[in-house]
Chain A
Amino acid sequence: MRCLTLFGILTLLALVACKPEPVDTWQPTPYILPIPRYFPTANNIPADNPMTEEGVALGERLFNEERSCAMCHHKEHSFEMGPTGTLENLGTQHTMLPLINLAWNTTGLGWKSQVATLEEMVYAAYTDPTEINADTMDVVRRLQQSSLYHDLFKKAFGTDEISFVRVEKAIAQYVRSLVFANSKFDRYLRGEEQLTQDELIGYQLFVTENGADCFHCHGGGANALFTTNLRYNNGLDANASEEFKAPTLRNIALTAPYMHDGRFATLDEVIDFYSEGVQYSDHISPLMHHVMQGGVHLTEQEKQQLKAFLNTLTDELP
């Protein structure tokens, strides 16, 4: 009888011992990146950082932390700084570029395409002395002190490990989710809203070589990003040899000052430059067809019409 009891206990123990450890089967929810009409299907989402609902939510929270990206990247200015973002105020080498529709930028980030990925850009922004100027170890330590962040990192990545690599990944996911494709012009293309006569003429100027000749570098039509994401020498200075990225013209009305050095405070100044202020140099892009005449020479009315069209590219903020 005692043997039987002992056998029974041992069997029970063995069964308990063999019971597998409970496995944490938490899987974040895949984030479906919308692809608006005429946007590319190819994106820059890396294989080791797929977008998830939880990753994007964590990234948004990190982006808006007290000492983080949102200090300078303001939603109301297409996620850049707006009129105060001059070189004098920023102390940076170049002005900011808007952080929108970057999931489809496959040619490098920054005015000179100098940063390969959004994840690298987060690291660069945090550590650059002229930007956030943070010690990444300090950032991680501060986050580790928050039980909330342990929970959010676990939801986003499956474990509650907090590392700066994960910070980079989460913020990059959030920035990739910033899709802007619902401007008045988009609604016009979808047949939901009408453009004014001036806005329509402005668009015609935008997409014609004999008009304002903007489209080769800034897209439009079948390039709904309103940029090729390539770099050009646009004739800002005589004999300047540098090339800078053509920024997206979506939300352009919200992103003054303009050009890599913020030299133009208003859209009117930008249009004046392309109309009669283009400087000749041997290095100018061959797509600046009208450089020998100093620009495209728009009339005052055409300038206003072009501006009216550019204003239709302003999106409804999320």
Chain B
Amino acid sequence: MRTKPIIAFMLALALAATACSDPVGSLTLTVTHEVDGTPLVVDALRYANEAGNPYLVNEVQWFITNLELEDCGGNRVMLAETWYIDTNLPETQTLRVSEIPASCYRLLRFTFGLNDADNQSGRFSNPPESNMFWPDELGGGYHYMKLNGKYLTADSLLAPLAIHLGRGQNEGHTEFYDNSFTVELPIDLAVYDGRDYPLGLVMNINQWFRDPVVYDFNTYGSAIMQNQQAQQALRTNGHNVFSAKNPEDMKSPLKATVQLFQKAAPKPHFMSWDNFKNSLENLKERL
């Protein structure tokens, strides 16, 4: 008779012990910037957008906020409230988060930029984040992204390219627009022990300039902070810019590359390859 309570107690103890030692892993999220499946090479005039504008990228600086995982049961795990990523600073391109509960995860979700509630001037005190400030007169807060580079004009001159996204405004108007947007990427991640799980996040730069809006640098020009039409075009295209690399893909870069290429195969450019090569040759001669 007296053994039953003891057994029950032992069972409860064992269950509690099991509950306390739920396997947890860690997650290492790595951001890569690519152009249609190949890693971005900065300062190299080797890319062309959908409109056929040859361009180069000097740097990409941007914010992710409210980064979280969603598991198969719909539960959310917050990974980071804010993540600043800068191609000049390799240490910003990796985020390691510990204490990831054991589960199967099906979604990586984040806000590109900062939504209006989070986008408050003075939020970041120190550089490099503070250098992303967006003047209050233009809506305040911070740039969501600075993609700085050059594009080749019809005259074969390298014109400044500053894809600066943030709170939008049409010049002369006082209305501001929240141009941040939510990105949800399907993933296939099972965390079942204490190891570190790699996950990749890819920004395909060319995708900013196509699908559905063909973004011509000659049309929108170099300064777009006060041009909500340009901001809206990029925001619309932004939904297709990001993709995730699952752990299996991370182990096998070749496979990942092939998959990405299939996902984001470049569409034909308006500028022919010969014209592009000629433009490059002209530029080389001038350099």
A: which residues have CB within 8 A of B? Answer: 38-42, 106-107, 203-204, 207-210, 213, 215, 219-223, 228-230, 280, 282, 284-292
Count of inter-chain pairs, beta carbons less than 8 A: 91
Separation of A219 and B223 alpha carbons in the complex (Å): 17
Q: B22-30, B96-104, B127-135, B251-259: which one contacts chain A?
A: B127-135
**Interface bits B152-187 vs A (CB < 8 Å: 1, else 0):** 010001111110000000010000000000000000
**Interface bits B220-237 vs A (CB < 8 Å: 1, else 0):** 011111100000000000
Can you give 5 contacting A-B residue pairs, CB < 8 Å? A222-B122, A223-B133, A284-B160, A290-B222, A291-B160
How many of chain B's residues touch chain A, expressed as a range? 35 or more
Separation of A219 and B132 alpha carbons in the complex (Å): 10
- Contact partner of A221 (CB less than 8 A), chosen from B133, B148, B153, B159, is B133
B274 CB → nearest A CB, Å = 23
- Contact partner of B223 (CB less than 8 A), chosen from A41, A210, A230, A280, is A210
When C-beta atoms are compared, the residue in chain A nearest to B138 turns out to be A208
User: Of residues B136, B162, B171, B224, which shows the largest number of chain A Cβ atoms within 10 Å of its Cβ?
Assistant: B162
For the complex of A and B, 4 pairs with smallest distance between CB atoms: A207-B135, A222-B133, A289-B223, A289-B222
Given contacts A282-B287, A286-B150, A286-B162, contact A40 B135 (CB under 8 A): no
- Contact partner of A222 (CB less than 8 A), chosen from B121, B149, B158, B223, is B121
Q: Are the CB atoms of B157 and A285 closer together than 8 Å?
A: no
A37 CB → nearest B CB, Å = 8
**B283 proximity list for chain A (CB < 8 A):** 282
Q: Are the CB atoms of B149 and A204 closer together than 8 Å?
A: no
- Contact partner of A287 (CB less than 8 A), chosen from B130, B137, B160, is B160
**Interface bits B55-80 vs A (CB < 8 Å: 1, else 0):** 00010000000000000000000000
- Contact partner of A40 (CB less than 8 A), chosen from B127, B153, B221, B223, is B127
Q: Are the CB atoms of B148 and A287 closer together than 8 Å?
A: yes
For chain B residues 188-239, which have a beta carbon within 8 Å of chain A? Answer: 221-226
Q: Are the CB atoms of A204 and B137 closer together than 8 Å?
A: yes
Separation of A2 and B131 alpha carbons in the complex (Å): 85
Q: Is the CB of B272 closer than 8 A to any CB of chain A? A: no
Separation of A207 and B171 alpha carbons in the complex (Å): 13
Q: Is the CB of B126 closer than 8 A to any CB of chain A? A: yes
Separation of A284 and B158 alpha carbons in the complex (Å): 9
Q: Are the CB atoms of B136 and A221 closer together than 8 Å?
A: yes
Given contacts A222-B133, A223-B130, contact A209 B160 (CB under 8 A): no
Q: Are the CB atoms of A222 and B130 closer together than 8 Å?
A: yes
Separation of A285 and B150 alpha carbons in the complex (Å): 9
- Contact partner of B125 (CB less than 8 A), chosen from A41, A207, A228, is A41
- By DSSP majority rule, is chain A's interface helix, strand, loop, or mixed? loop
Separation of A292 and B150 alpha carbons in the complex (Å): 12
Given contacts A40-B130, A208-B135, A220-B135, contact A286 B226 (CB under 8 A): no
**B221 proximity list for chain A (CB < 8 A):** 289
Q: Are the CB atoms of A209 and B133 closer together than 8 Å?
A: no
Q: Are the CB atoms of A280 and B157 closer together than 8 Å?
A: yes
Separation of A286 and B161 alpha carbons in the complex (Å): 6
Known contacts A208-B225, A221-B133, then 20 further A-B pairs from the complex at CB < 8 Å, ordered by chain A residue: A38-B122, A42-B125, A42-B127, A204-B137, A207-B135, A209-B138, A210-B223, A221-B136, A221-B140, A222-B136, A223-B131, A223-B133, A282-B286, A282-B287, A286-B149, A286-B162, A288-B160, A289-B162, A290-B223, A292-B153
Separation of A184 and B78 alpha carbons in the complex (Å): 44
Given contacts A286-B148, A292-B157, contact A40 B125 (CB under 8 A): yes
When C-beta atoms are compared, the residue in chain A nearest to B150 turns out to be A286
A29 CB → nearest B CB, Å = 26
When C-beta atoms are compared, the residue in chain A nearest to B131 turns out to be A228
**A208 proximity list for chain B (CB < 8 A):** 135, 137-138, 225-226
Separation of A220 and B286 alpha carbons in the complex (Å): 37
Q: Are the CB atoms of B157 and A41 closer together than 8 Å?
A: no
- Contact partner of B126 (CB less than 8 A), chosen from A41, A219, A280, A291, is A41
Separation of A47 and B153 alpha carbons in the complex (Å): 50
**A291 proximity list for chain B (CB < 8 A):** 159-160
Q: Are the CB atoms of B160 and A286 closer together than 8 Å?
A: yes
Separation of A311 and B132 alpha carbons in the complex (Å): 25
When C-beta atoms are compared, the residue in chain B nearest to A283 turns out to be B158
Q: Are the CB atoms of B131 and A230 closer together than 8 Å?
A: yes
**B157 proximity list for chain A (CB < 8 A):** 280, 292
**Interface bits B22-57 vs A (CB < 8 Å: 1, else 0):** 000000000000000000000000000000000000
